[in-house]
Amino acid sequence: MTEYRVVFTPGQIQERVRALAERISADYAGKRLLCLVVLRGGFFFAADLIRHIEGVDLQVEFIKLQSYAGKNSSGRVRSREQLPRVAGYDVLVLEDLVDTGLTLSNLHEAIVAQGPRSLRYAIVVDKKARRKIPFECEYVAFDVPQDKFLVGYGMDDEDKGRCLPYIGEVV
């Protein structure tokens, strides 16, 4: 059985999610916001975050992307379905992590091609140490400067560990 060392506790995660929700609520106050959740990892974060956003007219859509093969990025991003219509919307992409930047860069191009009013990203974990393509996110719960393989709170190790209430490092 795989063991995990806790990196961020459930309490730390919820504290950061609430803080991000406050910022997002202020930034989009009175606006109509389309939250585009990247499945499956972004689901846990999205469910918690959306419940704390106030004063914003929210709509939620989902997209399923795949770029990992085992513990490493495959370098290719595959979409399991068509991107929802985002033209004219303020769009906030909700994702569990960004590391190489390949997945979100590809998604960014597809969204921009549709002409959203605005486009921003809310991410649980930002692993800049693994960047292959420069990519910045406006709302980041945790910066992880080391190249750690993390699981929990949506992130998985070949579908294991995704439902853990904490974020842990594979040991």
Instruction: Give tens-digit pLDDT for 79-104.
Output: 556 788 999 999 999 999 998 888 88
Query: What is d(CA 16, CA 103) in angstroms, rounded to the nearest whole number?
Result: 23
90 Rama class: left (phi>0) / alpha (psi -120 to 50) / beta: beta
- Name the 3-class secondary structure at 88: coil
Question: Is 157 marked active-site?
Answer: no
Q: What CATH class has 13-146?
A: alpha beta
Query: What is d(CA 111, CA 106) in angstroms, rounded to the nearest whole number?
Result: 9
Out of 99, 126, 157, 159, which one is annotated catalytic? 99
User: Which residue ranges make up each domain of the chain?
Assistant: 13-146
Whole-number pLDDT of residue 69: 47
CB 89 within 8 A of CB 57: no
Instruction: Give tens-digit pLDDT for 106-121.
Output: 899 999 999 999 999 9
**Model confidence band, residue 62 (pLDDT cutoffs 50, 70, 90):** very high
Whether residue 147 is predicted with pLDDT greater than 90 in this model: the reply is: no
What single DSSP character describes residue 84? P
